[in-house]
Structure 1
Amino acid sequence: EFATGSSMKMAIRNAFGRATSAIVDSNLTSIITGVILYAVGSEQVKGFAVTLVLGVGFCMYTAIYCSRTVMDVIEKNRWVSRFTMLRLMTRTSIDFIGAGKIAVLVSCLLILVGAAGVVARGKGIFGIDFGGGVGIEAVFKTSQSIDTVRSTLNSLELDDLGVSNLSLLPESAEKESRETGIKVAPNTHFMITTSTPHQDEIDAETYLRIVTGKIKEAFKDSLVYNKLDYTFLEKAADSNEGTTNADAASTTVVNPQALDVSLVICPSMTEAALRSAIDGRWQRLVDEQKLSGDFRYTLKSVKEGVLASNGASILWTFSTTTASREQVETVLGLMKSEMDASPYFPSSSTVGGSVAADTRNSAILAVLGSLVCIVIYMWFRFQHIVYGIAATVTLVHNILIVLGFVALSAYVTNYLGFLQVNEFKIDLTMIAALLTLIGYSLNDTIILFDRIRENRGKSPLLTGKMINAAINQTLSRTVLTSMTTLFTCAVLYFWGGDGIHSFAFALMTGVVVGTYGSIYIASTLLLWLIEMRQRAVVRSK
């Protein structure tokens, strides 16, 4: 608006007047996606949908009303005489439509290569959310090559095996180092996923035990193991208040009437988990008729940060007045032998086949429903269905290429590991990323289509020259917003942690593909569809 010679006041009024429709259109389509996602998604996806709808709604409100109010106040008080915007490029006259056919051929080639990657990976491209199976986080004492880990696991003949290197955030690494007594080094945490064999009637929990046993057998002493040490606290004969045990490395008050034991557990456990472990062993011994009687006890949490000789935090003092030392020794001895022989798996998850099928169907319905609603809305908004078809085909194009990158990640992870490229899979996180990408890509496309509509005005024909002008006029804005979004996604990708690593990967590649798709594919498809309609009208006359 300033470039046309408008004053400050007129520039604000005209800019908001022209941009409001595009802002509403782009945000409403994202809200539609969120509503559909909430209607058909699982519980985890519904949480994301609520966040998406609320976030987009508040962003639309602030963009239309709050920003306008702030600028009106600035203009009225004359705090600023002129707004300027960084222009990455001056007025351009690039023939994007002329390169449209080449762009379409390149896109078809990328889609075909990606489709080949999807076919080659088969069911292995699905995460356990969609395929059913187990996921286990394994921790090694020393740094391991992902190739070594994968080749060792391949010998176990696990179905649809997936291995990814987990990058822990500094605070998570520090917490784990404190709890395990082992300094967390790079390339020591790996997520191992495998689908449940469909030919065998086996539930996910049983398969989890089978897989953890195979991992233990394959890597043996290379893994970090659980550890339990216990010390009976001796009584002082001349004290009614109790004494302290220096060997426990912490001040522990001893009850003269109770049998007290200091427990050193590595890594630390919650009280519920510790009680479950103790009660389970006691009940097993009772069932085997090795023990009998009443077994009541109390657990007292000792201040964290006090370290024993092996570096693990002393977390609990066990105290009982109903069991003998021999009985306690039997229970804790069994617990120690089993824990010391069990590898440390910080996290594990299981998904049954029926749950995975329901999740997969919900995700498909969410994506298809979003695309159908977008076609209808764009048809209504631009008064012609060709705009909706062009926008939706472009979205499908973007999704297919991103999915192709996800499929190909398994084949390049050995070469691009330094870029943190893992063996990405299609799971709930990836679906959330794709639906977010739909909203982002459509934003750029709507801005472009809105400018095309302005340039066309009341002209009965839409020409390639008009579309080229619209692309060049919005090019600086498109590139600038894409670069800022790409920068944010890159930060999430490299430093956001494993929980959103695949999400950030899909968004980062999707931002690049979406910008390319809006500029080349959407505009070219729109022109082709309009020309086909115009030729049909001429023939009918």
Structure 2
Amino acid sequence: MFPSTFFASILLKDPMFLFLSGLGLLVLFFWYFATELESRKRNVGTFLILGICGLMALALYPPKESLKGGIDLVGGSSFTLQVKPKLDETTGQPIPLMKEDVTQAKSIIEKRLNERGTKDLQTYETGEDKILVQMPGMSPEESEEVKELLEKVARLELRRVNLEGFHPGPDGRTLAERIDSGDEPRKPGFGVFKHSYEDREGNTRTEFLLLNNRVALTGKDVATAYPETMGASHNVAITLTSAGGDKMINLTKDMAPGRDRIAVVLDGEVITAPTVQSVPLGKRFQIEGQSSHDEARSLSNALKNPLENPLEIIETRVISPTLGAAVITQGIWAGIIGLTLTALFVLIYYRTAGLVALIGLTVNTIMIFGGMAMFGFTFTLPGIAGMILSIGMAVDANVLIYERLREEIGHGKSLKSAISAAYDKAFSAIFDSNITSLITALILFWMGSGTVKGFAITLTIGLLSSIFSAILVTRVMFRWGNDLHLLKKLSFLDLIKSSTFDFLSKVKPAYVVSGLLLLASLGGFVFRGQKGLGIDFTGGTQIQFELGSHHIEQAAVEASLEKVQTSKRPSVQEEKAISGEQLTIRCADQDVDAIVANLRESFPILGEKVEEVKNGEKTGDMVYAIQQSTDSVSAALGKDFMIESCIALGLGLLGILTYITLRFEFSFALGGFLALIHDVVMSAGIIILCGGELSLIHVAALLTIAGYSVNDTIIIFDRIRESLKEGDGDVKILMNEAINATLSRTILTSLTTIATVTVLAILGTGQLQDFSLMILIGLIVGTYSSIFIAAPVVLWWSERKGGSLRKEILHTTLAESDIQTVN
């Protein structure tokens, strides 16, 4: 490791450095917004920008080590686990395995391995008693740690020690020791456990304990568990639930201090058996004797998430990237081309102001990547979707400010006054649009898991970065330009002239078109049913070929399978195991025979036959040299994931509905809500109607579309509200004027975003292309709905009982003055 890399890693792992850095930046942040002096605001803002960029750059160095790719981008490790039956405490016989046991084990695994939600962890059930766990590439040391964590049942039990077990017999051995050796009959209701420990001189001692078979407390009674390290001592501090505390009191209230003992049993092994020093004991106690802080942390995590059933790792594999190096390269080039087109547009259209915007976007990008690196978050394809959305919103914020600036300059204001007014007037729209998206992101993070959580994390970091870069960074740059007399005049292209189009008079045709498309979309869902859902959601069969030392290109297999008529599109994956390379295809149950026949015909290695050998003797029958195995596979994050995503998105919609109602009026909330539902249903419906299949990647695309739709709608709503507050006359005319005033911003932002996504759709293949196509559909539908669905619904709802939208706005419960801009 280079010295600079070592220095950066040491600093970022030092809690004191992170605390002082964060505290200093927080002080600068509040100082910036608190001060009224322009020169001081400029200077403080500059130091704040440099400080944040410096910290993020430190977190990013070196990029190859600091930025983590998800399993869909960089490959990773795969563990196949078998869920074992638990034993009856009374009879010791296995209890038949239930479906709920496997589901509970899957849930606990997710919590153990992804406690902070920072990893792209994928877990799904396969067969009747197996769970497949996929994680991004990790070192051999990390893989061993994961294995240990997966197999740890963490069945915690507290049992009373029967002191009769220590009574010596004629041969000097204790009763417990004689029972263990079989020289004494078992005592009903009690069992013997061996306890190894170190005495004060450091010598290892072993004692035999006679423990009550009745378990006084279990892991279910644990409320919290966390590691504690003091010097060389590493312990786990445990706090019991209220019910657990009552059980502890009942257990110890009749004990004799200094004589009676309690045994702490973990996974059938006595960890410690201390003598009770005071009675009764309460809700808190410690498990001592862990060899390191990492071991204590691992144990505490397992205790918080105890397994009811033991797990056995029956196979470990190293998986190649699902998308493949070629697709990653396509994505990188598409991103570069798309961002280059956006940068050129901003520079050409806004000229000097465009250069300022690019500086802000650069800071925004540094903050996104630096934040992901600093907190150890993983980049996945859905996560990149969140980043695309947040960067698009950052571009949108700059366009919004500059279009306002154009208006203020057109009103004859000086450049300095026009810049100040533009930021003041654009602030509420930028704030509202980002906050509504942030509400959705936070709820998705809270409710979601895996793919959804990865999207939410990236989107949250991106939204906070975009607000900072658009409002603070570019404002500070303009202050420097004014104070140094570098900016005397700003000029922009004006390709989209002011219009007076009567959008609200086109309500009926728009409703007819939308209604027909929505009915067609819903009809597509009903008519195609399971055919419109990919294997991710319906499950299917996993076909596996053990290739050994042979190799078949994944791209060649995918190209070959395109010639096969299948009920669902199969997915191909290269894998490596101890036995060598493996080829795995996930497909619909009814497509297995056609796919196997095609592959054996297309690839000579798979079509080669040899004479069958049984029990060391040849049978004379010819069989394939490379046999295939098949196993039923449940939906990868399937129905549970879909339900979870829908609940999270529904709660997000409820949060947005509440916020818009408070910030605007219910009529606006209803318009935004219906427009968002319109966009999500129609985008998914168009994919279904065109013969596509919805998969997990489309869920990420729909979340992106929802975020874009809300952002676009809120900005139009903000301008409508401003026009109705300040203007007189017919409400419908004022609403049309407001929509026309934002038309240039709507068109410019939509075109730049559409251009970027179009490049991605053209250059991408596979999942990347599926994702891009849905985003492209959603962008077009979302732009349309903000104007022709959301705004007309607002007018209709406010007037349905003879009400006045202007009066509603003037009496809104959350006044504009409640959120002050201090730029």
Q: TM-score surpassing 0.5?
A: yes
Q: Secondary structure at the match of 1:162?
A: coil
CA distance in 2, matches of 1:142, 1:534: 61
1:142-157 map, 5 Å: 146=562, 148-150=563-565, 153=566
8 Å CA contact 2:560–2:602 kept in 1: the answer is no
Question: Which residue, 438, 453, 466 being the options, matches 2:734?
Answer: 466
Q: Name the counterpart of 1:131.
A: 538
CA distance in 1, matches of 2:708, 2:720: 19
Amino acid paired to 2:427:
T
CA distance in 1, matches of 2:599, 2:500: 61
Q: Name the counterpart of 2:232.
A: none
CA distance in 2, matches of 1:7, 1:388: 37
Q: Name the counterpart of 1:338.
A: 625
CA distance in 1, matches of 2:558, 2:788: 48
8 Å CA contact 2:561–2:595 kept in 1: the answer is no
Q: Does 1:444 align with 2:712?
A: yes
Q: Does 1:216 align with 2:596?
A: yes
CA distance in 2, matches of 1:362, 1:142: 31
The gaps in structure 2 that reach 5 residues or longer are 1-407, 544-552, 575-580, 806-823
Q: Secondary structure at the match of 2:492?
A: coil
Percentage of pairs with the same residue? 33
CA gap 1:25/1:108 in 2 versus in 1, 3 angstroms: same
CA distance in 2, matches of 1:82, 1:226: 71
The gaps in structure 1 that reach 5 residues or longer are 154-160, 173-179, 181-188, 198-210, 229-284, 292-329, 331-335, 411-422
CA distance in 2, matches of 1:477, 1:434: 23
8 Å CA contact 1:163–1:190 kept in 2: the answer is no
Question: Which residue, 669, 673, 682 being the options, matches 1:388?
Answer: 669
Deviations 1:399-420 (CA, angstroms, capped at 9, x unpaired): 121111111121xxxxxxxxxx
1:245-394 map, 5 Å: 338-339=625-626, 351-352=633-634, 356-382=638-664, 384-394=665-675
Amino acid paired to 1:44:
T
Amino acid paired to 2:673:
T
8 Å CA contact 2:600–2:606 kept in 1: the answer is no
Q: Name the counterpart of 1:15.
A: 422
Q: Name the counterpart of 2:529.
A: 122
Q: Name the counterpart of 1:496.
A: 764
Q: Secondary structure at the match of 2:569?
A: strand
Amino acid paired to 2:761:
Y
Q: Secondary structure at the match of 2:802?
A: helix
8 Å CA contact 2:535–2:568 kept in 1: the answer is no
TM-score by length of 1: 0.62
Amino acid paired to 2:770:
S
Q: Name the counterpart of 1:514.
A: 782
Deviations 1:477-510 (CA, angstroms, capped at 9, x unpaired): 1000000000111112122332322221111001
Deviations 1:205-244 (CA, angstroms, capped at 9, x unpaired): xxxxxx655412245422474699xxxxxxxxxxxxxxxx
CA gap 1:441/1:135 in 2 versus in 1, 3 angstroms: farther
8 Å CA contact 2:564–2:595 kept in 1: the answer is no
8 Å CA contact 2:534–2:569 kept in 1: the answer is no
Q: Secondary structure at the match of 1:163?
A: coil
CA gap 1:371/1:143 in 2 versus in 1, 3 angstroms: closer
Q: Name the counterpart of 2:63.
A: none
Q: Does 1:398 align with 2:692?
A: no
Q: Name the counterpart of 1:426.
A: 694
CA gap 1:140/1:222 in 2 versus in 1, 3 angstroms: farther
The alpha-carbon deviation at position 13 of structure 1 amounts to 0.6
Q: Secondary structure at the match of 1:478?
A: helix
The alpha-carbon deviation at position 535 of structure 1 amounts to 4.3
8 Å CA contact 2:536–2:635 kept in 1: the answer is no
8 Å CA contact 1:97–1:524 kept in 2: the answer is yes
CA distance in 2, matches of 1:3, 1:118: 50
CA gap 1:12/1:532 in 2 versus in 1, 3 angstroms: same
8 Å CA contact 2:672–2:790 kept in 1: the answer is yes
The alpha-carbon deviation at position 124 of structure 1 amounts to 1.8
Q: Name the counterpart of 1:409.
A: 690
The alpha-carbon deviation at position 426 of structure 1 amounts to 2.2
8 Å CA contact 1:96–1:520 kept in 2: the answer is yes
Q: Secondary structure at the match of 2:690?
A: helix
The alpha-carbon deviation at position 355 of structure 1 amounts to 5.1
Number of aligned residues: 375
CA distance in 1, matches of 2:653, 2:647: 10
Q: Name the counterpart of 1:41.
A: 448
CA distance in 2, matches of 1:53, 1:75: 33
Amino acid paired to 2:601:
D
Q: Secondary structure at the match of 1:149?
A: coil
Question: Which residue, 155, 162, 166 being the options, matches 2:568?
Answer: 162
Q: Name the counterpart of 1:299.
A: none
The alpha-carbon deviation at position 520 of structure 1 amounts to 1.1
Amino acid paired to 1:47:
G
Q: Name the counterpart of 1:72.
A: 479
Q: Secondary structure at the match of 1:78?
A: coil
The alpha-carbon deviation at position 460 of structure 1 amounts to 8.7
CA gap 1:141/1:376 in 2 versus in 1, 3 angstroms: closer
Deviations 1:374-402 (CA, angstroms, capped at 9, x unpaired): 100101111x1111111100111111211
Question: Which residue, 504, 523, 542 being the options, matches 1:97?
Answer: 504
Runs of 4 or more off by more than 6 Å in structure 1?
135-138, 141-145, 189-192, 459-462
Amino acid paired to 1:96:
F
Deviations 1:40-72 (CA, angstroms, capped at 9, x unpaired): 223222112111111111111111111111121
CA gap 1:40/1:77 in 2 versus in 1, 3 angstroms: same
Amino acid paired to 1:77:
L
Mean alpha-carbon deviation: is it higher for 348-357 or for 81-90? 348-357
Q: Does 1:2 align with 2:2?
A: no
Amino acid paired to 2:663:
R
8 Å CA contact 1:33–1:435 kept in 2: the answer is no
The alpha-carbon deviation at position 525 of structure 1 amounts to 0.8
The alpha-carbon deviation at position 133 of structure 1 amounts to 2.5
The alpha-carbon deviation at position 449 of structure 1 amounts to 0.8
8 Å CA contact 2:727–2:734 kept in 1: the answer is no
CA gap 1:125/1:57 in 2 versus in 1, 3 angstroms: same
Q: Secondary structure at the match of 2:440?
A: helix
Larger fraction in strand? 2
